[in-house]
Structure 1
Amino acid sequence: MASYDDWNKIEDDEDDELQDYSFYEGKRDVILFCIDCSPSMLELREDPRYEDVQTCNLMIALEAAMQIQKRKVLVGPNDSVGIMLFNTTKRNESGTVGADIKKGTYVYQPLATIDVPKVAQLMQLLDEARENPGMLREEFPPMKDKRIPVGDVFTSCNWVMRDGAPKTATKRVFFITDEDNPHPGAAISRLTTSARTTLIDLVQAGVTVEPFFISTDEKPFDPSRFYSSVLLPTNITDSNDIGDHDGSSILPESISIGRIDELLAQMRFHEVPKRAAFSIPFQLAPDFVIGVKGYGLITEQKKGAYRYFAEIDAGVEVVESRTSYVDEEQEEEVDKGQILYGMDLGAPSAEAGDEEGDAKEVDAGTRSVPFGCRVFYTAEEVRAFRTIGLEPGIKLLGFKSRKELAFEDNIKHSFFIYPDEMTYSGSKRTFTALLRTMISKKKIAIVLALTRRNSSPIFCAMLPQEEKVDESGWRDPPGFHLIPLPFADDIRAAPVERAFRASDELKEAARKWIDKLNVKNGSYPPDSYPNPALAYHNAQLEAQAFREDFDAEAFEDLTEPKYDMIHKRAGQLIKAWKEELREDESANIVSAPLAGSKRKADISVDEAEVRSKYEAGALAKLRVDQLKEFLKSKGEAVSGKKADLIDRVCEWLDSHA
């Protein structure tokens, strides 16, 4: 089994427990566009965006690669992108990058850090192709009589990644083709096995293959003809391992592109790599451990960090920032490992120690500190205090009914955990069995989690999620939501104040126009609606980087409501609801606080305190207003005398023991 001793590369002791994403956002991303260059990809047709301009699938794929590179100039300047074509007779010259890859493949753009001149070169190629539609066929002649085996394509991808991608980067291959049966004939079984074997080698090297299948009305794409038997499972409910797949269809429908115009939109969903926030063991029982990865489902995308530049030799270079610790007395740099940590505890007592300044004797279990000194700890000791001596991991404590998980228990954003088959063999199978059992029995798990070496352990609820796929292809993956639970000090009795309630007629009138404006299929894909302020900022920087004119009027805000459609669908219903709202008496009443009114005393009391007094038989010590506030927070009646209130509190505590 793989060791987790070196799983965490973080050395900063001041990181937040769960809020700091910089450690995996800073990881480099490597994308290799692997584009089919067969005759069908070069077939010309009218471009719907430009008049009197012809295009082809290869041109659209290259344009998608160009658009992603332009965005990465801003959001990922340290990322690497490359372009490799297959099913072409063009070869790389001897001695150049890609010269030793398989015959039938051609590296047009070697894997390298994003560079504006290289992107501009690709833009120039596309501009020439629009003026001369046959130029791409002349530049990249397709193989006419045969096709290169898909296994050789994956092998070439592996070699290109091996030579050009950093070891610690997130490596992905965007595989683009419109041919669903590349190897018709008697040799299909042998070539399928070869392609799957080489793909496994690619995956074991840390590379993920994300396919984009182009399907049109004239040439529909059927993944079951070849690629369903080659590409690896994307579903944890698949009971088979990588090496013994039975050949059934395992590809989600969402990767099949119905229109070529959707290619760029689909790539935007896959543009940002899904990096794990942590990778830790999950202990189900003593000596029974599986591997899991945790993902943050919602992360705020921010503007890129600014950099400092210095003029050196008539040029500018990026300034490398470094933090150093300097001893003020010796005026020299100090190694970080020698730094001690302490607290300001106030002035020592005048009676501490004897006349000679010897250390005062203290109780067992504490340090003996010389007079005039304070207690200091090393970085490792501070880390031990924070983690209570635990190693990173998740430990299963038990199970509870799903009804026990309340909405207010969710005080922090949750993580989504998924099995990690690469660290512990059989993790996916065990994870799936646990998921299915908890779903069928409607249970949640209570676990103790330490997600990072410099964080604090927390108790969490593991909420199972079943896989769901809607008609639009939006997929809720199967797995567990890891929800941090509050400690007793985090729980407060929230004051509940009831305002005026709308009448049933007013509610029904509002429901009519709300039903007309529901999101299609009930799902909201956040990738389809980027932050407009951030997109506007990046568009200006992109235009400046490529020396283009920025047209502010041409910028499209995808989050702006479609008012015409809203008025068309529900305009009359909204007007009818407004008329009924004006006639409702409660809507015209405004309760304002009296001027100069004093702030009310805090009468809130938490459940733990009430339960402790109940167990001690001292509920009568609570005031009437405190009893009423507690009952109100639990949705109980607050009428009657103090004895009635005490009886009502006792009944509630007995029923919720």
Structure 2
Amino acid sequence: MDFDDYGWTALAIDGDEESDEAAKGASYTQQTGVMFVVDCGPPMFVKHEDESSHFEKCLKCIRQICQKKVITNEKDMLAVVFYGVNKSSVPDGKAIYVYQDLAQLNIQRITDLESLLEDPNSFVSEYGYSDNYDISEVLWACSNTFAKSNKSFGEKKILLFTCDDNPHKGNEALKKKAIAKATDLKSMNIDLELLALNVRDEKATFNMDLFYKDLLFLGDENSLASYPDPSEKFEDLLSTVYRKEHKRRALGRIPFKIGNNIEFSVGVYCLCRKAVIPPSVKIHSATNSEVRSQSRVFNAATGEDVMPQDIKSYQQYANKRICFDTEEATDYKKFNISGLKLKGFIKKAEVKLHLHVKPSHFIYPDESVVKGSSTLFSALLSRCAARDMVAVCHYVPRTNSNLELVYLLPQLEEKDEANNQVTPPGFHVVFCPFKEDMRDLSAVDHSASANTDQVEKCKALIEKLSFPYQTSMFENPSLQKFYSNLEAMALSKDEPEEVTDYTAPNTRKIEKKAGAELEAFSKSVFSESTKRPAPASSTAAAKKAKVDNTSIDIKQLALTDGLGKLTVADLKGFLKSENIKSKSTKKADIIQDIKSHYGV
């Protein structure tokens, strides 16, 4: 099992996990530079069964990436380059046109891409086509664009879209020039990625061996073996671009110790975190300039400001305040240096994975710190998976983090039919509870039970309504609606894109698929001898317990300022019973009318 480059880093996070102490202190300030390079040859404009061309699919993909980055990584810099056109904006470069230079995204750049999508034919008439291009010059133009930028990039990528698997057919000199330039890009830490589209020819498919194998992999057969198949559908192309463009960032790199003598290095990643609507930025209503809030700590007795060095904290123990300063509080949490320490192994069947205290992390070998980490990690992963064993570890994410007890759940690599990685190889770090975290449910009434007939009918219902679940099937409708409206306002659209709530049950489909089983189960549970629970009332007033006004001393409540404890409905009932007229429906006004009635 080779861990050198599995291309699985799309599962890493784009920043720190807010709720996790392990993420505190991590800072990623460097920008990412991405250049989208699109082949504009005649095959890219051929209409297919879905009435769209490869060129349109590429532009849709780029536009969608740009829209996503406006929300998630607006400081990243992107560029769009067309080659194989009858125009040139690059000195000494033929048929190469930089449509959008390397810069941060703005509304105008996205609008320009949408304009091209609305009328692709106008692109052909304006830019034309030329087969007099050189891939090495295309790559040189991209590297030169990166070199001219005064930004310090954490990552530099060139994403090349094409359906031509042999652009320099019969010309070995141009092929060698392109390979030499690709080697230069690698030495400059610029990643070159190919987004291959299916060749629309019944007798041929996209053949990596003809040209791009030598250009991209430079003799690395392992990388070629894990390369995805050419895309045909837009969804496949978009998912491939997301995977290749996504940043590879770890929460941290920590040592993994087995006993006293064995130590290797792993990177810690976050596979799952809650996606939330970003907080709004407050601005001045008159000038639209950003405003900032300031807080201060002061002495409640004197009102004087208190400096940070004068502040202490306390914990109460047996009615006594135990005071300590910030440094002491930090020292109390320190157990050891950060890292994983193996305690032992247990059978996977004995692990209760439903008992976890927060979302899991994911670990992957890190060769940059300790050479040979991949070999040790691979051996441990293979044997744990083969024997259905789970490692139990002592885990300190960072020096000032709390100690955690974790399970290491093994996961082997899986790929789909298109050779795309579905799951990466590694260990899920499951945070298990300590003894103090558990709650006793012995007081819960477990006397109710189902008979055999009810169990069988429920089993039939479950079988009918079972479906293959995947997390990717369900988008958060609240988030999607928010971003759809935000995008519509930013791009001055007449209407936001409609958002479908896939989490809502399709009752019509459920009734069609399992109507008979639902009815049978319902009759079995709610038989004639069993009273079916009445449906809850939808009105708020019906949910509240009714109060008998005759048992309440309204006058006493008025004298003691206790009328606020009653509901508006109770107060109105009293007004009606005493024939007291009130001109308002507000609670405060009704209370004042009652007080006036009693002369309070």
How does the TM-score come out when normalised to structure 1?
Answer: 0.64
Q: 1:317 corresponds to which residue?
A: 289
**Does residue 487 of structure 2 align to residue 487 of structure 1?**
no
1:87 offset after TM fit, Å? 4.6
Could you tell me which residue of structure 2 aligns to residue 214 of structure 1?
A: 197
Q: Secondary structure at the match of 1:446?
A: strand
Query: Contact (CA 8 Å) 1:32, 1:174: kept in 2 or not?
Result: yes
Pairing 1:442–2:388 present: yes
Tell me the CA shift for residue 548 of structure 1. 1.3
Q: Distance in 1 between matches of 2:284 and 2:178?
A: 55
Matches within 5 A, 1:189-588: 190=176, 194=180, 197-198=183-184, 200-201=186-187, 205=189, 211-215=194-198, 217-218=200-201, 220-223=205-208, 227=212, 231=216, 245-246=220-221, 249-253=224-228, 256-260=230-234, 262-264=236-238, 267=241, 273=247, 275-284=249-258, 286=260, 288-310=262-284, 316-319=288-291, 338=309, 341-343=312-314, 376-379=324-327, 381-388=328-335, 390-471=336-417, 475-495=422-442, 497=446, 499-501=448-450, 503=452, 514-515=462-463, 517-519=465-467, 522-526=468-472, 528-550=473-495, 554-561=498-505, 570=513, 573-579=514-520, 581-583=522-524
Compute the displacement of 1:462 (Å).
1.2
Cα distance in 2, alignment partners of residues 454 and 63 from structure 1:
46
1:107 counterpart = 2:78: no
In the other structure, the counterpart of 1:37 is: 39
Q: 1:199 Cα shift?
A: 5.6
| Separation in 2, partners of 1:252, 1:477 | 14
| Distance in 1 separating the partners of 2:511 and 2:275 | 32
Q: CA deviation at 1:107?
A: 3.1
Q: What fraction of aligned residue pairs are identical, expressed as a percent?
A: 23
CA contact (8 A) 1:110 1:164 kept: no
Name the CA distance, whole Å, in 2 between partners of 1:502 and 1:79. Answer: 61
Contact 1:228 1:250 in 2 (8 A): no
Opposite residue 342 of structure 1, the aligned amino acid is S
Aligned residue number for residue 67 of structure 2: 70
Instruction: State the partner residue of 1:85.
Output: 82
Give distance in 2, aligned partners of 1:57 and 1:343.
Answer: 65
Segments of structure 2 that go 5 or more residues without pairing to the other structure are 1-15, 534-600
Structure 1 counterpart of 2:107: 116
Deviation, structure 1 residue 476: 1.6
Counterpart AA for 2:131:
K
> Equivalent residue for 1:178?
163
- Structure 1: how far apart are the matches of 2:70 and 2:510? 37
Residue 555 and residue 442 in structure 1: after superposition, are their counterparts in 2 closer, same or farther (change >3 A)? closer
Does the CA-based 8 Å contact 2:256-2:340 persist in structure 1? yes
Q: Distance in 1 between matches of 2:272 and 2:377?
A: 23
Q: Any conservation in 2 of the 1:339–1:378 contact (CA below 8 Å)?
A: no
In 1, Cα distance between equivalents of 2:208 and 2:456: 47
How far apart, in 2, do the equivalents of 1:467 and 1:67 lie?
29
CA distance 1:376–1:558, shift in 2 (3 Å)? closer
Contact 1:418 1:479 in 2 (8 A): yes
Contact kept, 8 Å, 1:510 with 1:574, in 2: the verdict is no
Deviation at 1:480, TM superposition (A): 0.3
Query: Where does the alignment leave 5 or more consecutive residues of structure 1 unmatched?
Result: 1-11, 50-54, 94-98, 233-242, 350-372, 593-657
1:324-343 C-alpha deviation (Å, 9 max, x unpaired) = 77899997896x6x465432
Deviates further, 162-171 or 175-184 = 162-171
Q: Compared with structure 1, are the counterparts of its residues 231 and 244 closer, same or farther at alpha carbon in structure 2 (3 Å cutoff)?
A: closer
The Cα of 1:543 is off from its aligned counterpart by 1.0
Contact 1:40 1:178 in 2 (8 A): no
- Residue by residue over 1:583-613, the C-alpha shift from the partner in whole angstroms, topping out at 9 and shown as x without a partner, is 4577974799xxxxxxxxxxxxxxxxxxxxx
**Residues 125 and 425 (structure 1 numbering): CA distance in 2 closer, same or farther, change over 3 Å?**
same
Alpha-carbon distance in structure 2 between the residues aligned to 1:385 and 1:181: 64
TM-score, normalization: structure 2?
0.70
Contact 2:272 2:360 (C-alpha < 8 Å) held by counterparts:
no
Letter in 2 for 1:246: E
Offset at residue 483 of structure 1 (A): 1.4
Separation of aligned partners in 2, 1:78 and 1:201: 25
Cα 1:448–1:273, aligned 2, differ >3 Å: closer, same or farther? same
Distance 1:303 1:104 in 2: 43
Structure 2 CA distance for partners of 1:59 and 1:246, relative to 1, 3 Å:
closer
Indicate if the aligned counterparts of 1:173 and 1:209 stay in contact, CA closer than 8 A.
yes
Residues 21/579 of structure 1: CA separation in 2 closer, same or farther (3 Å cut)? farther
* TM-fit CA distance, 1:419: 1.9
Task: Indicate how the Cα distance of structure 1 residues 437 and 374 shifts in structure 2: closer, same or farther if over 3 A, else same.
Answer: closer
| Aligned mates of 2:319, 2:510 — CA distance in 1 | 71
The residue type paired with residue 556 of structure 1 is: T
Letter in structure 1 aligned against 2:41: P
Q: CA separation in 2, counterparts of 1:226 and 1:322?
A: 60
Deviation at 1:549, TM superposition (A): 0.9
Tell me what 2:135 maps to.
Answer: 148
Q: Distance in 2 between matches of 1:280 and 1:543?
A: 44
Matched residue of 1:256: which SS? coil
Q: CA deviation at 1:506?
A: 5.4
Separation (CA, whole Å) in 2 of partners of 1:109 and 1:327: 57
Distance 2:503 2:134 in 1: 44
Query: Counterpart of 2:570?
Result: none
**Higher mean C-alpha displacement, 466-475 vs 191-200:** 191-200
- Distance in 1 (CA, whole Å) between partners of 2:499 and 2:236 is 19
The 1:407–1:558 alpha-carbon spacing in structure 2 relative to 1, beyond 3 Å, is closer
Give the number of equivalent residue pairs. Answer: 511
Q: Which amino acid in structure 2 is aligned with residue 214 of structure 1?
A: L
Q: How far has the Cα of 1:31 moved from its partner?
A: 5.5
RMSD over aligned Cα atoms = 4.5
Q: 2:123 corresponds to which residue?
A: 136
> What do the CA deviations read for 1:167-195 (whole angstroms, capped 9, x no partner)?
47565544422233445555698568647
Match of residue 626 from structure 1: none
Q: In structure 2, what residue type is equivalent to 1:220?
A: T
Residue deviations 1:558-598 (CA, integer Å, cap 9, x gap)? 44455665566x2xx43245235414577974799xxxxxx
1:506 and 1:577 in contact (8 A); partners too: no
For 1:409 and 1:429, the matched residues in 2 are separated by: 31
Partner SS state of residue 299, structure 1: coil
Q: Which amino acid aligns with 1:575?
A: A
1:510 and 1:474 map into 2 onto residues whose CA distance is 37
Letter aligned with residue 488 of structure 1: K
With over 3 angstroms needed to count, the CA separation of the structure-2 counterparts of 1:17 and 1:124, relative to structure 1, is: closer
* Letter matched to residue 426 of structure 1: G
- Cα deviation for residue 540 of structure 1 reads 1.2
